Amino acid sequence: MVDLPLGRPAMVLVSGSLALLLSLACPWWLQLDGLPPNWLVLWLLPWAVVEGSLAGALAGLVLGSLHDSLQTSGLTAVPALVLLGLWWGRFDSARRPLERSTTLGLLAILGSLGVNLGYALQLQGGGPLPVLHITLAQSLLTGLLAPPVCSLFVLIWRRRSTRHAR
Amino acid sequence: MVLGRQFARLADRRILLAYWPWLLVLIGLVLVRVSKGAPIVDLYALLSRPFWPGTAQSEWVRQAQRVEDQQRIAQLELQLEQLHQGAARPAEGAVGRAAGIRAAVISRRSEGWWQQLELGAGSLQGLRPGAAVTGPGPAALVGRVVSVTPTTARVALLTDPASRVGVELRGNGSQGLLRGMGTSRPQLQFLDKDVEVQPGDVVVTSSASSLFPPGLIVGVIQSVDQQAVPAPQALVQLVAPVQALDWVQVR
């Protein structure tokens, strides 16, 4: 399953596009109380962990910018994703322990909390929006999906990485 | 001088040749950003086409359009007859509005941080930014088109925190401003202090509104806060159920 017949650039393009498209419309069975998981976090985490801080921050910038262009509001995910990319990129030297489900799940929950906190700060507390509800539901779902999704992508990116070539 | 040398180094053909793929990526990113994600949404519309909503609601929309068209034809015939009989010229706008364009809802984000829809029709079908979007059946306002791509249109819902719509109460005509709150029930702020309003009153778009056609049904007053300062406020239950909308009409 890991040996998909796609090169690294094509795989980056396809999986990144899929993360953005899933942000547009997520199947109902992958939603919690109408809220989808944070697909950007689920894509960025394995990428940054394998490729390092700089690649993680750049991916956060690109992915966040593209995601922002799909919104009507002026909210941006770029600062949070860039910081998460930088942070997760620092784990690239400790690759083995990160394959444990709990670690990836915990990092994804913290990442989703960070992105939602960024939105809440931009809205100066969220106004009348149920910020806590949105943040908790999305973070929980992201954390639950992270172990299978991120583990798979960690393996995929490592097979294709120029930094961890076998 | 130093800056000039640095610029000349940057413009060096060798460097440009070495980094041209990144330059292309950067240009692509800027283009996507400027076009408000048009290539991504168009790609999404193309890929999701086999999964678009069924025809049941589409048929309701079509029937509503047919009824509106028939009413419009009847009005036109009546006015033509009046003109032939030498009656006064009918008032402008009395003919009614042409039926809108039907569009499938291909992406719905009404929970969480965003309150928006993506429609499966765009500028190629004649949609323009600023158009009013209504639900199937009676013209119940849903939101407003904010941007279009060739095959899709993005709609900001009435519940969007940035949404502001001039409305009035059907009957006594009390004017107010409907503000999106990010929740399912927007808030109506009345302009006058002395307003006769009670739960159950129908809210329609204002005749003074420049954004929407007048008289479109918006919702029903659910609760009223008469003590609010400087004027009473009310919560409005929207008539068009965004969660159940598969097809809409763009006017």
Alpha carbon distance A118, A142 (integer Å)? 16
Alpha carbon distance A130, A62 (integer Å)? 28
- Is residue A52 within 8 A of residue A166, CB to CB? The reply is no
Q: How much is the pLDDT for A126?
A: 54
Alpha carbon distance B149, A132 (integer Å)? 34
Q: How much is the pLDDT for B94?
A: 44
Q: Is the ipTM of this complex over 0.95?
A: no
Residue A135 lies in a domain: yes
Which of B34, B105, B111, B146 is the mutation pick for testing A, counting most A CBs within 10 A?
A: B111
Residue B109 carries which side chain, given as an amino acid letter?
R
Residues whose CB is less than 8 angstroms from the CB of residue B64 and which lie 6 or more positions away in sequence, other chains included: B99, B136, B137, B138, B249
The mean of the pLDDT values for chain B is: 82
Which of A68-77, B22-31, B87-96, B123-132 is predicted most confidently? B123-132
Residue A21 lies in a domain: no
Top-tier CATH class for B38-251: mainly beta
Q: What is the pLDDT of residues B158-173, one digit of tens each?
A: 998 888 899 999 888 8
Domain with CATH 2.40.10.340 in chain B: 38-251
Q: Name the nearest CA neighbour of A112 among A25, A23, A51, A12.
A: A23
A-B contacts at Cβ under 8 angstroms: 86
Residue A109 lies in a domain: yes
Higher-pLDDT residue of A130, A108:
A108
Residue A10 lies in a domain: no
Q: Which of A33, A69, A126 sits opposite B36 (nearest CB)?
A: A69
Q: What is the pLDDT of residues B98-142, one digit of tens each?
A: 568 889 999 888 888 888 999 999 999 999 999 999 987 667 899
Q: B46: distance to nearest CA of chain A, Å? A: 11
Its domain, for residue A152, covers 35-160
Alpha carbon distance B120, B48 (integer Å)? 10
- Is residue B114 within 8 A of residue A129, CB to CB? The reply is no
Q: How much is the pLDDT for A117?
A: 93
Contacts of A66 in chain B (CB under 8 A): 29, 32-33, 37, 40
Residue A77 lies in a domain: yes
Count H helices and E strands in chain A, helices first: 7, 0
Q: Both tokens of residue A78?
A: 């770029």
Residue A86 lies in a domain: yes
Number of domains making up chain A: 1
| Burial tier of B34 (Cβ tally within 10 Å: 0-12, 13-18, 19+) | exposed
Helices A131-160, A39-51: axis angle to 10 degrees equals: 40
Q: A74: distance to nearest CA of chain B, Å? A: 10
Which of A24, A38, A116 is the mutation pick for testing B, counting most B CBs within 10 A?
A: A24
Given an 8 Å threshold on Cβ–Cβ distance, is A73 in contact with B40? no
Q: Both tokens of residue A65?
A: 């910018």
Q: Is B88 a residue whose pLDDT tops 60?
A: no
